[in-house]
Amino acid sequence: MASSSVVKEAKVLMVGAGGIGCELLKTLALSGFPDIHIIDMDTIEVSNLNRQFLFRQYHVGQSKAKVARDAVLKFRPHINITPYHANVKDPEFNVDFFKQFNVVLNGLDNLDARRHVNRLCLAANVPLVESGTTGFLGQVTVHVKGRTECYECHPKPAPKTYPVCTITSTPSKFVHCIVWAKDLLFAKLFGDKNQDNDLNVRSSDAAASSENVEDVFERRKDEDIDQYRRKIFDHVFGYNIELALSNEETWKNRNRPKPIYSKDVLSDELTQQNGNLEKNYASDDELSVSAMVSLGMKNPQDIWSLRENSKIFIEALKLFFMKREKEIGHLSFDKDDQLAVEFVTAAANIRAASFGIPLHSLFEAKGIAGNIVHAVATTNAVIAGLIVIEAIKVLQNDMENYRMTYCLEHPSRKMLLMPVDPFEPNKSCYVCSETPLSLEINTNRSKLKDFVEKIVKAKLGMTLPLIMCASNLLYEAGDVEKDFIKIYEANLEKVLSELPTPVTGGTMLTVEDMLQEFVCNINIKHREEFDEEKEPDGMVLSGWTQPVSAVDNKDKSIGNGASTSNALVTAAESEKDDEIAIVSAVKKRKLLDDSDSSNAADEVKHHKQLQVIDDEDDLVLLDGEVDSFKKRRLS
Ligand SMILES: Nc1ncnc2c1ncn2[C@@H]1O[C@H](COP(=O)(O)OP(=O)(O)OP(=O)(O)O)[C@@H](O)[C@H]1O
Ligand SMILES: [Zn+2]
């Protein structure tokens, strides 16, 4: 069928009306699509206006889906646009809802929602065109049930993590200093005091080893703030570095860091009363308290000297105690918290100076700490165009010509847009095939509650799960009748083996999400012991391909990605990380194809190894072997 006729008859669903979504809605409308439904749960923020061009300042606070509709109707008044200001995970968007569309187009920013839409599209048998961008990078992929891989056929790489020792003892890049300042120092000073925090710091003098040693980070009741902040400064930038230097082995092949004491960088007088607190008293808004303001420093793009960083550090510390004392003890780093960003920038820079690493501006530091890759409007526009091209092919059933397209930052073989043939479904994908998963668990000890939280919800991404053992219902989430709740609650507290039907090794559990119409079987294997460090969940799921991280890391709480300890990295941001990795996976896939491994399990193994090889910060993109990329045509 000609493209114009399929377009004229199409009814499409767009999920997400953000950066990609605005471009997509405009392109769909201008391409003649007559019936478009849009779901977006957000309202417009000022920070969206630079690229989400359907929105204006006076729309701030209003529904994205509704405003986007109104804006497009102004230049295409005769088309139907139906907005839903709602979460795509809401039960109203069930399989029947999805079935009314010819194609679904995603412009989302998080893994969770993408997985959900993937499952609904599979259940409703509606093709999905999936997309994502990160700065100059982007990709569009096509997912058609039974024909191409689904969104979950291959593991999504986890955000980057760093080995703990690099962060605590031997930083070599600025990002290591940021992670230290944010996840260790900031957390230690202002976050939960009881958390495990390996600050390369014995909290007090090495000599003092009794249990009641005083915690240097704790401010004593009568302790003068000037004394306290000087003590912290000297402890983390001076004493701890001296301590690290005393381990000669570490520095054999590395540059030795330089201890920095407050007296070296700040005069006494400065330490005692730098800054003009008055300037900060004018405002009651906690998030506007700023060390830069009190020190009269204005430009966030300036790279401050060591002395300036030291002044900011000392001033920010004081401001936290003078202006935001109530929050101390339960703060977590937030990239929109000015004072927190100032503190982290200064601390990271002082540490960088100590280790001979180039210093960075607050603007740059904020980007790194908040894991921000600045969005590029043009990338979104290019990606939106590609989505529409693929959508039209899908509507025409032109399978031979489906392409996944990667938008690259640097040309490869003079190409910035890299088309790749779609892959076949992964035969052992637990989402689009019926392959069971297997779970090693101590059936005498493990609780059903942990199983639901750690496996069913966290790993399998089910929102409203229901768990059956043969014909016995063991668990059901959501609106359950009162009497049932009691039974389930009782079950939750019982060990697996005490459930109505004993769950032991060899039992097959069926986990089902009614909303997603997604069923998966889990084969239970009893195991006595688990390695607490490597298997902290106390259960191991296999068959499910877990996100692969570039660097093997014992301590998951350290990282610039969506680390567990770290609420600040939103799903959206961590997801962006994963898109970068998807682009670099083009190369990996090529290698996979070269090896011509037909066995899916092998392929996953292979995939993992390759992920590990590529552990540089910089992306390795396609590098000129395009021709050798064997095409795997769809049959
Ligand atoms: N579960 C969901 N249901 C509905 N809409 C969603 C869901 N998850 C994400 N979205 C929407 O997807 C869009 C993604 O757009 P985009 O990546 O441009 O993010 P943004 O929030 O607009 O901007 P930024 O995150 O860069 O500040 C957002 O408008 C967001 O509301
Ligand atoms: Zn799949």
Q: What pLDDT is recorded for position 485? A: 64
More confident residue, 626 or 244: 244
* Percent of the chain whose predicted confidence (pLDDT) is above 70: 74
More confident residue, 2 or 589: 2
Pocket lining for ligand 1, CB < 6 angstroms: 16-19, 21, 39-42, 47-48, 64, 87-89, 108-110, 113, 375, 572
pTM: 0.70
Predicted confidence (pLDDT) at residue 302 exceeds the cutoff of 50: yes
Could you give all domains of the chain from N- to C-terminal order, each with its CATH number?
Answer: 3-157+374-420 (3.40.50.720), 164-369 (1.10.10.520), 436-542 (3.10.290.20)
* ipTM (interface predicted TM): 0.97
Residues 478-492 pLDDT 10s: 666 667 666 666 666
Residues 328-360 pLDDT 10s: 998 989 888 999 999 999 999 999 999 999 999
Residues 159-215 pLDDT 10s: 566 777 888 888 999 999 999 999 999 999 998 776 655 554 444 444 444 444 567
More confident residue, 469 or 128: 128
More confident residue, 571 or 97: 97
Buried b (16+ CB within 10 A) or exposed e, 326-341: eeeeebbbebebbbbb
Residue 311 burial by CB count (10 A; 0-12/13-18/19+): exposed, middle or buried?
buried
- Rounded distance from Cα 366 to ligand 1 centre (Å): 21
Sorting pLDDT into bands at 50, 70 and 90, what band is 158? low
Alpha-carbon torsion (75, 76, 77, 81), positive or negative? negative
Q: Calculate the average pLDDT of the chain.
A: 80
β-strands 437-441, 472-476 pairing: unpaired
* CA distances in angstroms from 452 to 176, 352, 462, 474, 540, listed in the order given: 35, 43, 9, 11, 13
Q: What residues are neighbours of ligand 2 (ion), with CB under 5 Å?
A: 150, 153, 429, 431-432
Binding site listing for Zn(2+): 150, 153, 429, 432
Mean of pLDDT values over 81-94: 96
Mean of pLDDT values over 134-143: 96
Residue 123 CA, chain-centre distance (Å), reads 26
Q: Of 44-58, 242-256, 280-294, 342-356, where does mean pLDDT reach its minimum? A: 280-294
- Rounded distance from Cα 433 to ligand 2 centre (Å): 7
